[in-house]
């Protein structure tokens, strides 16, 4: 999968250094994936939450952080829409962000 944009992840882990390794691991696994449907994501990340509006939520670092992506399966792309703490995640609408 092509991930747009790694910069959002870097900016986050600069503020939360303990998130760097888990986010890098997610990035490495995900960029090699060829997800064509939600079930493909669930096969790799069983704890991922598939939402409406083509959004997927990943738990990062044991659910300390949340990552929301917009999927474009037909293009093989994921767009980073949000990365934040669990508390910050609770303040957003993941389906519209």
Span 37-95, pLDDT tens digits:
999 999 999 999 999 999 999 999 988 999 999 999 999 999 999 999 989 999 999 99
Is the predicted pLDDT of residue 5 greater than 90, yes or no? no
pTM: 0.94
Q: Which long-range contacts (CB under 8 A, 24 or more apart) does 87-95 make?
A: 89/57, 92/68, 94/51, 94/55, 94/57, 94/68, 95/51, 95/52, 95/53, 95/55
Mean pLDDT of 2-26: 95
């Amino acid at each position: 999968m092509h991930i747009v944009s790694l910069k959002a992840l870097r900016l986050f882990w600069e503020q939360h250094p303990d998130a760097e390794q888990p986010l890098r691991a997610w990035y490495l696994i995900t960029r090699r994936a060829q997800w064509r449907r939600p079930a493909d994501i669930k096969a790799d990340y069983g704890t991922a939450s598939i939402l409406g509006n083509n959004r997927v939520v990943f738990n990062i670092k044991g659910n300390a952080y949340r990552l929301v992506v917009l999927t474009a399966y037909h293009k093989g792309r994921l767009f980073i829409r949000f990365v934040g703490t669990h508390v910050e995640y609770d303040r957003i609408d993941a389906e519209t962000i």
